[in-house]
Amino acid sequence: MMTQRIQSKLLILSSFFLLSLTACAPKMSVFTKSLYEENSWSDSDLSHIQFYLSDDVVLRRSLSKGETKISSGKIKMINGQRVEEIIFERGTPGVFIKRKKSNHFAVAFEDGDDTKYLVFGPNNSHAGDYSLLAIEWEGRRGIVKYDNKKWKTYNRGGVSKLLVDLKKINQVSVKKRKVRGRKVE
């Protein structure tokens, strides 16, 4: 009888502890066209939002015979061919670099020059979720431009989307000051 009481108290305490931990965790949500339009964010505002990837993104490109400069990937041999591969893991943080079109964003996930970005935009077939955009798609594989080179995507979970921490986005800070006017001297 006594051990059951202790066990139930331990269960309640551990449940409370787990709930308190999840309350501190970021609330990741998909960045959508409606979220963007409701807030009317400028490029400056977007550059202060921390974005994350919803799924892994794998980029591969075949290396030509004389090509020796590998900038940001690993070299692999696939079917006897030298291939450069770059892996962006799910949850990788990224920052807004520039606007490609009115609602297409260049987002960088690694430090370096600003040619190393992926482009995201609203996907109308997925409720306006900001998804990875490609120059062209063949099923779930696309051709994207990254670091001024063309790459093929090999996404493991479909098309990756942009995620944001809504708790941080909703914490808007406003800097105010009162203007006293200016008089003629």
pLDDT digits (tens, 9 = 90+) for 85-124: 999 999 999 999 999 888 899 999 998 888 899 999 999 8
Specify if 116 maps to a domain.
yes
Q: Is 172 left (phi over 0), alpha (psi -120 to 50) or beta?
A: beta
Specify if 118 maps to a domain.
yes
Specify if 64 maps to a domain.
no
pLDDT digit string, tens, across residues 16-46: 444 443 444 458 899 999 999 998 899 999 9
Specify if 13 maps to a domain.
no
Signed CA dihedral, 142, 145, 151, 153: sign only = negative
Specify if 42 maps to a domain.
yes
Number of domains the chain contains: 1
Specify if 36 maps to a domain.
yes
Q: Which of the pair, 27 or 7, is modelled with greater confidence?
A: 27
Give the 3-state secondary structure of residue 53: strand
- Asked if residues 29 and 170 have their Cβ atoms less than 8 Å apart, the reply is no
DSSP code string of 67-108: -----SSEEEEETTEEEEEEEE-TT-EEEEEEEEETTEEEEE
Q: Domain range spanning residue 41? A: 28-57+90-149+160-169
Specify if 49 maps to a domain.
yes
Specify if 178 maps to a domain.
no
The fraction of the chain above a pLDDT of 70, given in percent, is 70
Q: How far apart are CA 154 and CA 95, in angstroms?
A: 22
Q: Is the pLDDT of residue 76 over 90?
A: no
What is the model's pTM?
0.71
Q: Which whole number is the average pLDDT over 165-173?
A: 68
Q: Which of the pair, 56 or 173, is modelled with greater confidence?
A: 56
